Structure 1
Amino acid sequence: MAEYPVGMVVAAQPEAVEAGAEVLRNGGNAVDAAIACGLVAGVVDPQMCGIA
């Protein structure tokens, strides 16, 4: 979990949290951070991501 004055990012994978936090640090919004988290999670933990 990473907390910032403008938001918080929570994910099962630390790499996904870092990606989302980086987006927020660079001025992105919550949707941008969620997309980044989802994409990274799909790469580092693909069995936990997908359309079911």
Structure 2
Amino acid sequence: MTDKSVEAQSHEIQKIAHEIISEGFQEHPKAQNQGVLTGKFNHEAKDRGGSKEA
């Protein structure tokens, strides 16, 4: 097993979870809109180096 910091592992898990959720939302567009409205995926902007507001 590779030694990674807890922060690196957490970031990797967040990215994987986002991919899984995004795939599910492709089947349910209403759910995707709800996620955007509630701001649950603001970590994505952080990953790109942007702000939370798009």
TM-score by length of 1: 0.42
TM-score by length of 2: 0.41
* Bigger fraction of residues in helix: 2
For CA contacts below 8 A with separation 6 or more, give which structure has more relative contact order: 1
